Amino acid sequence: MLFPVGIGLAVPAMTTALLQSVPTAKSGTASGMLNTVRQSGGAIGVALFGSALALGTIDGMRLAFLASAIAVAGSAICAFLFIRDADTSG
């Protein structure tokens, strides 16, 4: 839970700092470069994580995936049962 919150706080600050550090005429190039590096880093991270998972080097991963699947299923059930359309609330 802490990781997504940290990313949510860091990414806007990082983007603002980057765009303020370059001249306005180069802001499009800087923004494109930032997004390219961000996407590449994400893809490399997923590949490395998948490799480590396939090799079985991460202990407890099956349990973590099972817990995540149960949490997602519980959320889906709650959404199905408790979220109503605005049209049917009248």
Q: How far apart are the first and last CA of the chain?
A: 36
**pTM, full prediction:** 0.56
Q: What's the pLDDT band for 30 if we cut at 50, 70, 90?
A: very high
Report how far residue 24's alpha carbon sits from residue 11's, in angstroms, rounded to the nearest whole number: 20
Q: What is the pLDDT of residue 73?
A: 94
- Domain housing 75: 2-89
Q: What is the pLDDT of residue 1?
A: 67
Q: Number of structural domains, the chain?
A: 1
pLDDT digits (tens, 9 = 90+) for 40-64: 999 999 999 888 888 877 788 888 8
How far CA 35 is from CA of 14, 40, 41, 43, 83, in Å, comes to: 11, 8, 10, 12, 35
Report how far residue 15's alpha carbon sits from residue 30's, in angstroms, rounded to the nearest whole number: 9
More confident residue, 49 or 36: 36
